Amino acid sequence: MFSLIRKNSGPILRPDPARPWEAEGVFNPGIARVGDTVYMLYRAVGETEAYISHLGLAKSADGINFTRVGKLPIFGPSHDYDRWATEDPRITEIDGYFYITYVAVTGRILENGKPSQSNSVIETSTALLKTKDFVSFKELGIISPPGSDNKDIVLFPKKINGRYAMLHRPSNWVKNNDRFSLDGADIPNVPSIWISFSVDLILWTDHRLFLAVTEPLNAKIGPGLPPIETEEGWLIIYHQITEGATPYEFIYSARAALFDLQDPTKLIAQLPYDILTPKEPYEKENDLSASLPPAGYIKSVVFPTGGFIENDELFVYYGASDRYIGLATGSVKALLEELKAFSIK
């Protein structure tokens, strides 16, 4: 069995009560390594009523100890399409630019003019930013197909056979719909991971099912880290949501799979178990976004969103309990060896 090992005895970033916009939660970070500096763009929540997220920036020389940059968020809601939140940034470097996808929350269910206690989201899409320096950002707008209720978009770091590629996790899809159809016969029953292609990073077509849930049948999966190129194939670290042993119990964990370098629609290997499962108390705190859960509601969360490989070490940064940021690492060689043992015949 391969398992990621937690790098620290606790979270590597915690909410800062001195900064009101991030007093309640810092989680689900995008990561970029530039020379000897690791940039962390993290989702920050300051209050639990409207649950509006901003993005904060931190930097590190060793990938473990991070220092916040400035006192204010570096990005936040400013459009109709993201007025209820900018969430879960993922960073991919392509040709010297950093591209950042983020989940734009367009609407929440309101009760008496206020967000409902469950904070239920009624529409999500994904938007794209471009930066060279994490100081100024060019906004490229929404890139998820209209009406797809889509999040977790991660970009591949280079063109494949002349086109950019992305993974995404739509919640709405229709066969043979003009606007958003799934090419091919396989239609997933539950939210799963899809792949799409583009010539300009804005308009995405050729949607195909990339990875579907295997076991258990009621689980859901979604992209985690942007794909990482290795000698053996595209390494895909993704999240799986599994129902726990008791009603209203949900477990978010990290998994691994490998895809063909030349044809990334081709699955080479997939581990049938978690490589990181919530275990520590800070990964098992109840979810903030469900402030009035039904009795017995438990949500344990490790939610991988960023990382890189340094020498033989895979760094995986993850949101813990929608409140903290954790880091776990493992040997790339050992992971690829283990994946080989689970090759798709």
Interacting residue ranges for ligand BMA, rule: CB under 6 A: 28, 87-88, 252, 287, 301, 303, 319, 322
Which of residues 25 and 227 has its CB atom nearest to ligand BMA in the complex? 25
Helices (H), 207-342: 332-341
Across the strands, what pairs with 189? Answer: none
- Taking the complex as a whole, the smallest distance from the CB of residue 301 to ligand BMA amounts, in Å, to 5
> Cβ 118 to ligand BMA, closest distance in Å?
13
Residue 9: CB minimum distance to ligand BMA, A? 23
The SS3 of residue 190 is coil
Name the one residue in this structure whose structure tokens are 């060019």: 138
Residue 93's CB: how many other CB atoms inside 10 A?
16
* Residue nearer to ligand BMA on the CB measure, 40 or 301: 301
> Which CB atom, from 325 or from 339, has the smaller least distance to ligand BMA?
325
| Closer to ligand BMA by Cβ: residue 305 or 335 | 305
**Which of residues 25 and 233 has its CB atom nearest to ligand BMA in the complex?**
25
**Closer residue to ligand BMA in complex, CB, 73/264:** 73
Which residues fall within 8 angstroms of residue 299, CB to CB, at 6 or more apart? Answer: 249, 250, 252, 286, 287, 290, 293, 321, 322
Is-contact 298 246, C-beta < 8 A?
Answer: yes
Q: Which two structure tokens, joined as six digits, stand for 310?
A: 């340094």
Minimum distance, C-beta of residue 274 to ligand BMA, in the bound complex (Å): 15
CB of 164 to ligand BMA, least distance (A): 24
CB of 197 to ligand BMA, least distance (A): 25
Give 194 or 197: the residue with its C-beta nearer to ligand BMA.
Answer: 194
* Residue among 43, 73, 83, 41 at smallest CA distance from 58: 41
Shortest spacing between CB 322 and ligand BMA, in angstroms: 5
Nearer to ligand BMA, 82 or 338 (CB): 82
Q: What are phi and psi of 255, to 5 degrees?
A: -135, 170
Question: Are the CB atoms for 169 and 193 separated by under 8 Å?
Answer: yes
* Element holding 131 (H helix, E strand): strand 121-131
Buried b (16+ CB within 10 A) or exposed e, 24-60: bbbbbbbbbbeeeebbbbbbbbbebeebbbbbbbbeb
CB of 252 to ligand BMA, least distance (A): 5
Backbone torsions φ then ψ of 315, nearest 5 degrees = -100, 125
Polymer length in residues for the chain: 345
- 338: DSSP letter: H
In whole angstroms, the minimum distance from the beta carbon of 342 to ligand BMA comes to: 26
Pairing of strands 205-211, 193-198: antiparallel
| Residue 153 contacts residue 90 (beta carbons within 8 Å) | yes
**Taking the CB of residue 126, how many other CB atoms lie within 10 A of it?**
25
| Separation of alpha carbons 255 and 11, rounded Å | 20
Using CA atoms, how far apart are residues 171 and 41, in angstroms rounded to an integer? 25
**Cβ nearer to ligand BMA, comparing 2 with 324:** 324
